[in-house]
Amino acid sequence: MKKALFLLLILAFAGTAFAAYSEDATATLGEGDNSLKVKLSNQVKLDYAENGDGDTFVIAAYHDKGTRTFMSSSEDASIYYGEETKITMPDAPDVGTSIGTTDDFDKTL
């Protein structure tokens, strides 16, 4: 449920989002039975990564013509953003470890 709510927040703030894309502008988050297919708006990219055990994830979104990239993780209560698009997101955190701000994602919503 937390993943779905967070994804809705990202889509609301970013206007849309980047990951494994198909021709119908969908992105697949995760693998196997627990994967989630997301329909993206035009020129929106979504990036998603999980740790080796699949316990935590990090997700980032941006619009190709936008000026910001938004990012958060399953271990953070905040959404962070950077003043550029296509910023490389950090790796998924360990359980109980917040990503917090980074050099690229230095502002919090």
Report yes or no: 58 and 48 within 8 Å, Cβ to Cβ: yes
Question: Between 97 and 14, whose confidence is greater?
Answer: 97
Separation of alpha carbons 40 and 95, rounded Å: 28
Q: What is the pTM of this model?
A: 0.66
Range of the domain at 61: 2-108
What does the pLDDT read at residue 88? 77
What does the pLDDT read at residue 21? 47
State how many domains the chain has.
1
Averaged pLDDT score across all residues of the chain: 75
